[in-house]
Amino acid sequence: MKKMKNNSYRLMLWLMVSIGTLGCKKYLDAKPNKQLATISSLTELQALLDDHTRLNYQTVYAAEAASDDFYLTDQALNGLSLEGDRRIYNWQKGNQFEGTVNGWYYSYLGIYYGNAVLESLPEIERTSSNAIQWDNIKGQGHYYKGSNLLNAAMVWALAYEPVTASQTLGLPLRAAVDFNVPSTRASLEATYQQILNDLKNACRFLSVQQVHVMRPSKAAAYAMVSRAYLMMNKYAEAALYADTALQLKSELMDYNNINATATNPFPEYGMEVLHHISIANPAILNQSNATIVDELYNSYAADDLRKKIFFTKLNNRNVFRGNYSGQSSLFFGPAVDEMYLTRAEGYARTNRLPQALADLNALMLKRWDKTKTYVPYHSSDQTTVIAWILAERRKELLMRGLRWGDVKRLNNLGYGIKLERRYNSSGVVLEAMGSGFAMSIPETVIDLTGMPQN
């Protein structure tokens, strides 16, 4: 890993000058000057993609900060240094993203990296001797474009509804590194089609095996396509791509073998991780401030090992520590357990109930205390099975940046989930179909581009 970081570091002068990382105006207006440095080999392109500080350890966390899985006391909320995070927490539109280095910046930085690689790659001849590496690099470029745009869509766009998506505002679709091309908002339909196009190209070109999970693999790309289709409520497609990912990697951790007393119970780069994406705990989400809501904590059965492994007590508060990052940083990448639950939901919603229950029970057997009897989920009622899967999805995938998107897509199906801040004096409510589910685009971006605001 150290060698990859060193290789990427020497290329950063070129990229930083190209995108202007010192400020939002420079970021939007900079004119790439490839004469400053020339990428002339696949090794250099791969080194650019191995810039883990920017591509693996920075992502938008606003979706998690706005979710209803945790709460802040008044004291914790008032103690946050970022007013924008307080506004995100209380679903207040406007000034949610402070400064120039924020979630929007990092989302479009990843897209920029992908474009930079995809534009430079044709300058290098694809030959029989370099074809595998050449294709793998192309796949990574598409992956970072598609996955970052999907993350952005979950934050800054409303939930996908096929009837209205072509008339609903989506996101800017940056197709090249030239920042002289003005940014305009595409439709939500075009946004999701771009996401799917890039991620499916990633599926096509990525290698099955990578040297490390810091690099996205073919299974990771299939997983992200599955995640995108689930956000679109396209369940047959979500199940298909989840299944394809699981054909490549399906082993689940047995939580009976996890040390429940460890500060960070899970191993770094554990067996369920498909692509390692994490973010250092922002103040709004770290253990000193974020307390898991009682109704979620109490929903775990006594013999469910997740209750012991995911949580610890801090000042008599239930706080989360079950990060698949293996550290205190939050894990936001795709993983095997997510694919089991996505495939199960897809199967259930297409009335393949035995297969859905098989996936759900396979997961739960690995989460149950083996000294206790596990009673498998069993029902022939579709509504009941779907409800079970959704409940386990929330319990399994908390603090992974997914709950916000799940609430949005489920409300489009009529679930009527309204979010409430009931644990502090703010007492705010976000109605099920409220406009607050599409957060405010940073004002600096609106001022510079003239794009319409949410």
Check residue 37 and give its pLDDT.
52
273 by DSSP, 3-state: which? strand
Q: What separation in angstroms does the CA of 191 have from each of 104, 141, 153, 169, 412? A: 15, 17, 8, 9, 18
Tokens 């709950």, residue?
A: 403
Q: How far apart are CA 404 and CA 227, in angstroms?
A: 13
Q: What is the pLDDT of residues 144-165, one digit of tens each?
A: 999 999 999 999 999 999 999 9
In a domain, 300, yes or no: no
Residue 425 — very low, low, confident or very high, per pLDDT cuts 50/70/90?
Answer: confident
In a domain, 113, yes or no: yes
In a domain, 222, yes or no: yes
Q: What is the pLDDT of residues 262-314, one digit of tens each?
A: 999 999 999 999 999 999 889 999 999 999 999 999 999 999 999 999 999 99
What's the domain range around 248?
2-256+332-449
55: phi then psi, degrees, rounded to nearest 5: -95, -25
182 by DSSP, 3-state: which? coil
Residue 4 — very low, low, confident or very high, per pLDDT cuts 50/70/90?
Answer: very low
- Which structure tokens are listed for 115? 């474009």
* Res 25 pLDDT > 80: no
Query: What's the mean pLDDT in 310-320?
Result: 97
Tokens 């922002």, residue?
A: 282
Q: Poorest-confidence range of 16-20, 224-228, 349-353, 390-394?
A: 16-20
The letter for the amino acid at 152 is: A
Q: Which domain CATH number covers 437?
A: 1.25.40.390
* Res 3 pLDDT > 70: no
Q: How far apart are CA 201 and CA 199, in angstroms?
A: 5
Of 99 and 30, more confident: 99
- Which structure tokens are listed for 454? 């949410």
In a domain, 299, yes or no: no
**CB 165, CB 187: distance < 8 Å:** yes
In a domain, 280, yes or no: no
pTM of the predicted protein model: 0.92
Tokens 């392109």, residue?
A: 45
In a domain, 434, yes or no: yes
**CB 450, CB 105: distance < 8 Å:** no
Q: What is the pLDDT of residues 167-223, one digit of tens each?
A: 999 999 999 898 788 899 999 999 999 999 999 999 999 999 999 999 999 999 999
In a domain, 134, yes or no: yes
The mean pLDDT of the chain is 92
391 by DSSP, 3-state: which? helix
Residue 22 — very low, low, confident or very high, per pLDDT cuts 50/70/90?
Answer: very low
Provide the domain count of the chain: 1
In a domain, 313, yes or no: no
**CB 63, CB 57: distance < 8 Å:** no
**CB 43, CB 120: distance < 8 Å:** no
Q: What is the pLDDT of residues 41-78, one digit of tens each?
A: 999 999 999 999 999 999 999 999 999 999 999 999 99
